[in-house]
């Protein structure tokens, strides 16, 4: 894909993302019915869950790219893995912030060491460690290989996060879509938010990968100049 086509694709994606975000905000904050017990506080759910799924998706991309790098030793896969890890950490940060905002009025505590919350925090910290490992290794090939192995191992926690409320008794709400716990009138808002966050993930990954490619080119030119 040439640069002009890529720029047009990014511009189109930006436009679609803007429309999707506005639709998601309207459906979640205005159109969706007010929950009888929690009131408007429940509206955090739409963004909290969408960010969590987008974050797990990003870590899945990191895992796939890490496996691809180990198998092929191609720099592009290392680049994708790095950008996916950064994006996933950003989404998990949203999850870890919005969760306590909802939990304090409902559970009367900001935090509890339940399986879902604990595994989510550990997952986020694992990928923060992944980014730190990359930062302090100077040799590009060694950095890429160690980071790839680290990313593969770190992803083991992702299924634990997803299945934790299915495997163990937890104060965290059960899977609402699977259990039928979400009102059908609320589902359009949820799916709109999920679609918007996944589009945001794609857009951020594309832009961050493009920036990383430029940084690698600058490093290469700097080495040649030496």
Residue 177: Cβ within 10 Å count: 11
Cα(40)–Cα(57) distance, rounded to whole angstroms? Answer: 28
What confidence tens digit (pLDDT) does each residue in 30-64 have?
Answer: 998 888 888 888 899 899 999 999 999 999 999 99
Q: Is the Cβ–Cβ distance between 124 and 89 less than 8 Å?
A: yes
- Tell me the domain boundaries of the chain: 3-225
Q: Tell me the CATH number of domain 3-225, given options 1.10.260, 2.170.130, 1.10.3470, 1.20.120.
A: 1.20.120
CA 167/CA 170 separation, integer angstroms? 9
The residue among 41, 46, 153, 150 whose CA lies nearest residue 103 is 41
- The pTM is what? 0.89
- In the prediction, which pLDDT does 173 show? 62
> Which stretches in the chain have pLDDT values below 50?
none
Nearest one of 39, 40, 73, 91 to 199, comparing CA atoms: 91
């Amino acid at each position: 894909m040439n640069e002009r086509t890529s720029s047009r694709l990014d511009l189109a994606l930006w436009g679609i993302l803007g429309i999707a975000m506005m639709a998601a905000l309207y459906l979640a904050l205005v159109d969706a019915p007010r929950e009888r017990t929690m009131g408007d506080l429940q509206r955090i759910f739409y963004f909290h869950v969408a960010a969590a799924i987008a974050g797990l998706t990003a870590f899945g991309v990191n895992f796939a790219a890490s496996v691809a790098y180990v198998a092929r030793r191609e720099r592009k896969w290392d680049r994708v893995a790095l950008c996916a890890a950064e994006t996933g950490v950003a989404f998990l940060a949203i999850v870890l912030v919005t969760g306590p905002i909802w939990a304090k009025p409902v559970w009367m505590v900001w935090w509890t060491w339940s399986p879902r919350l604990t595994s989510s925090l550990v997952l986020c910290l694992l990928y923060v460690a992944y980014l730190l490992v990359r930062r302090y290794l100077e040799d590009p090939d060694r950095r890429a290989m160690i980071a790839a192995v680290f990313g593969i191992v770190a992803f083991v926690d992702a299924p634990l996060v997803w299945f934790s409320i299915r495997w163990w008794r937890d104060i965290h709400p059960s899977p609402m879509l699977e259990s039928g716990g979400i009102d059908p009138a609320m589902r359009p808002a949820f799916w709109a938010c999920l679609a918007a966050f996944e589009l945001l993930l794609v857009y951020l990954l594309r832009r961050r990968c493009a920036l990383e490619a430029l940084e690698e080119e600058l490093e290469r030119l700097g080495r040649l100049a030496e």
